[in-house]
Chains A and B, each alone.
Chain A
Amino acid sequence: MYRYDEFDQEFVTERVAQFRGQVERRLSGELTEDQFKPLRLMNGVYLQLHAYMLRIAVPYGTLNAEQVRMLAFIARKYDRGYGHFTTRQNLQFHWPALKDVPDILEHLASVEMHAIQTSGNCIRNVTADQFAGAAADEAVDPRPYAEILRQWSSLHPEFVFLPRKFKIAVTGAERDRAAIQVHDIGLHAKRDESGRIGFAVYVGGGLGRTPMIAHKIHDFLPEEDILSYCEAILRVYNLFGRRDNKYKARIKILVHETGAEEIKRQVDAEWERIRHSALALPDSEIERIQAYFALPADLTPRPAESVVLNRARVTNAGLNQWIDQNVVPHKISGHAIATISLKPIGGTPGDATAEQMELVADLAERYSHGEIRVSHEQNLVLPHLALDDLPAVYEALERAGLGTANAGLVTDIIACPGLDYCALANARSIPIAQRISERFGSQARQNEIGDLKIKISGCINACGHHHVGHIGILGVEKKGEEFYQLTLGGSGDETTSIGEIIGKGFSSDEVIDAVETVVDTYLAHRANADEDFLAAYRRLGQAPFKEALYGAT
């Protein structure tokens, strides 16, 4: 993975020193909260419902064992022994004291991490396919480009005061695991017939109050143009994006109001002016960054079948189920990628204790060439496992409460922190996720239901991606009570769709039954066991679900 060069390290270290001074001045009274707030936000420090919150960037969801161990250390020493992985592949600590934050940031800097640009109206942490560089179905490893974009967007002087925040996602496989069509810019790296690398460029997607699917404005942008083209998009947005109304300030509104064709024309015009500038990427620079992401030298092909694994699968039903559900093929024979579910039945989605983080770091070091990934679905990933090692990895995970075999199933729920932690929330998300998880917790029932993505947000900001949940749940406040609105048919993959509101909302008491009714209706109406929820909903439409939920109209 990428290692900081001198410039990166110096910049991050200086930034810690600068923030240390700012915190001191705040605590000594030289800075008022109004003066300090923008400064702390620039360093990822929010004031939430119960305490400060520190959001740490995990660039394109990639971590090494040393970094995860450091996160565990910080969780234990400065927080309450756990951390929360988010839908932006970041990590949040919910309880740091302000006075400790400079020390935390210094520890992070020592392992090449920081919290810069995890807040504010700037280009945020670039996200990517969590299986990048490992997936068998991948055409191009998106991480080198994500890294190039990270370097370009870090403190880019022109883009530190954008109309609103700006999120970029990159994938390199046909199967979109990074939800690129609901980002401000989505990039799909691919190869043409001659093997050249280029990008399909999507712009203007987003969730929140006004969910929109991005428009494709370029089919195949040559790789050397990635920065000049993104810069052109950002320039058009920076110039014409609305600054008069926070709710209309994202690029999705600009694209919607201006029209995708006109936006493309404006972007192309700007791009023509700058594409041959210093932003054009020479091959040598792309190769230099790619070298950081080469597969580990000792990750060499092994026999495609593992006798050890096959034998263990016969005798260990738990392992067998976990392999079926959480393990996918690796591009190198004899290897696999494993999703570590952070969704134990009845647990808090995305939370990991310090001890669990340390175990994952140990396993990564021992079995996965030191690499760990964070998925936007709030799970962790060990990307490079030999098939022979899977039984040992599973056993260790299982002992630590990390062996839940539910990746992609009904209990693999995305949930934002909601009213249990978040100052902006209208309703709780986590308890709803926990109750659904318990309701559908039996493995047999989950298997019968098959692929089903439930996503829950505690307010319209949609951090829990409810709009793209097969079943989406949005918490609202009605007369002081928590209510939950269901949307059906959303999807964040290569067939992105925004879920449709099915009808009036449900009270906290009713909502779990309502979800079960939706699931039972699907089971009753599906063409066969191979037709998953999304496919069935797309075929059937709202009618049978509406009728089951609200009675015949």
Chain B
Amino acid sequence: MFKAATSGPAKVVTANRLDNGLVVFLDPQGGWTLDIAEARILDDDEIDAALAYGKEQDDARIIVDSYAIDVQVTDGLAVPVRLREKIRAERGPTIVYGEAERTKLTAAAD
């Protein structure tokens, strides 16, 4: 089992994809997922190996700038501790944007 902990503090490894820049997380199969719910949750003693793997993946031109973040795990689900990483894990800003924002503002005005 890769899931190191089902609750409590832990870490996950994150990066941005090289080709499109999107935020990704290291998954249990050694791939990269956009969904933090699918991320591999790491114990302290696994981090060095995971970061070394991230570096290899960087060299292999899959991702850029991998690093470990603190998460709080609840029922196997990792939630980043820092707001910055929470926002990254949400895959976008905390506000609506573009056409969706236009629609929202138009509805509010009516």
Taking Cβ atoms with an 8 Å cutoff, the residues of A that contact B are 26-29, 32-33, 47-52, 80-82, 95-99, 344-348, 351, 353, 355-356, 401, 419-421, 425, 428, 430-431, 434, 477, 480-482
Contacts and interface: CB of A to CB of B under 8 A. Distances in A.
B106 A353 contact: no
Nearest to B92: A50
B102 to A, nearest CB: 6
B95 A419 contact: no
A82 B16 contact: no
B95 A51 contact: no
B21 A82 contact: no
B81 interface: yes
Given A27-B18, A47-B64, A98-B21, A33 B58 contact: yes
Nearest to B63: A33
Nearest to A480: B82
Instruction: In the A-B complex, list the 6 residue pairs whose CB atoms are closest, starting with the nearest.
Output: A420-B93, A52-B21, A97-B20, A51-B21, A82-B98, A81-B98
Contacts of B65: 33, 47
A401 B99 CA distance: 11
Interface in B87-110: 87-88, 91-95, 97-99, 101-102, 105-106, 108
Contact of A401 (B58, B60, B84, B102): B102
Question: Looking at chain B, what size class is its interface with the partner chain?
Answer: 20 to 34
A401 B21 contact: no
B105 A47 contact: no
Nearest to B81: A480
Contacts, number: 98
B23 interface: yes
A50 B23 contact: yes
B54 to A, nearest CB: 12
A353 B18 contact: no
A48 B19 CA distance: 14
B22 interface: yes
Nearest to B106: A401
Nearest to B22: A51
B97 A351 contact: yes
A420 B64 contact: no
A47 B93 contact: no
A355 B98 CA distance: 10
A97 B19 contact: yes
Contacts of A344: 105
B96 to A, nearest CB: 9
Given A33-B58, A47-B64, A419-B83, A27 B95 contact: no
Given A29-B61, A98-B21, A82 B84 contact: no
A27 B88 contact: no
Nearest to A428: B94
10 contacts: A50-B21, A50-B93, A52-B20, A81-B98, A98-B18, A98-B20, A351-B98, A401-B105, A420-B87, A430-B93
